[in-house]
Structures are given as C-alpha cells and as structure tokens.
Homo-oligomer: A and B are copies of this chain.
Amino acid sequence: MSDVLRLDAFLPFRLSFTSNLVSDTIAGIYVALFDLRIPEWRLIAVVAEEEASPLGGATQQEIGRRTRMDKVTVSRAAIAMVERGLMARVAHPDDKRSHLLHLTDAGRDLYAQVAPKALELERRIFARFDAAELAAFTATLRKIDAAILAEEQAG
C-alpha cells in the first residue's frame, strides 16, 4: 500500500476489476448454455445443497443470507424458477409466512448438468494456480469479508 493513489494498484479497484472479469465470463456462458442468470443459478446451487438438510429445502431468507443477495433479487429469481418448472414451493411446516424451495425433477436434471459445468469452468480459469496459492487466496478473501463485516458491526 503506497502513499500515492494509483488506481491500477488500488486494491478495491483491482478486486472489482477481476471480479467483474470472472463474473462476466461466467454469466455469458450460463445464459448461453442454460438460460440462467447469476442469481438464478445461485438459487439452484443453494437449494440443491439445502435439500440434504432436515427441512429438505431453503427459504428465500436463508438464500439471501448465504449469498448476500437482496431479498427482492431472490424473490424474482425464485419466481422465474418456479415458472420454468425447475423449483416448487412447499409450505413451511412451522411458519405460514414462509415457503421452502426445492428442486423439481426437471430442476434436479438441470442441476446435474450445471454443477459439473461450473466446476469445469472454475478449473479452466484456475488451472494454472497451485493448490497452496488458491488456498492462500481464498483465505485472504475470507479475511477481507470478516474485516468489513466487523466494520459494519462497529459502524
């Protein structure tokens, strides 16, 4: 960290730059292959994971918490998925305000295609990095998250 501002070396800028590069690449591929926007495919990923949980699904609120997406974004993605027949809602057993999202058979089929493709993309981009470098990288990312969330707490 220097004491003159050079945008090119300014960490928040670099982070945003790289993140956009990665996201745009992936977003384009997902739309082309599966007609899924990023929020939608995140929904699928979270719901697929949560189907193994005791409740057998995920609430929109849980999805928002885990992905830090706005609840409006989650709502819209959920509506789109239900309309496409990839997900269904069941009443939440303990709270009638809420629903549990789970995958339909069609949704599970799609997930079976989407997940390997995601991992393949990840490998293609990150193939040239060794495991230690990637581990250090993600560890730093998580430390940054923690630092900011702590700031937010503190105000």
Contacts and interface: CB of A to CB of B under 8 A. Distances in A.
A20 interface: yes
B1 A13 contact: no
A126 B1 contact: yes
Chain A at the B interface: SS class: helix
B122 A144 contact: no
Contact of A138 (B14, B22, B67): B14
B7 A45 contact: yes
Interface in A108-155: 115, 118-119, 121-126, 128-129, 131, 133-134, 136-138, 140-145, 147-149, 151-152
A18 B29 CA distance: 22
Contacts of A7: 42, 45-46, 49, 66-67
Q: How large is the interface on A (under 10, 10 to 19, 20 to 34, 35 or more residues)?
A: 35 or more
A55 B15 CA distance: 29
B68 A17 contact: yes
A82 interface: no
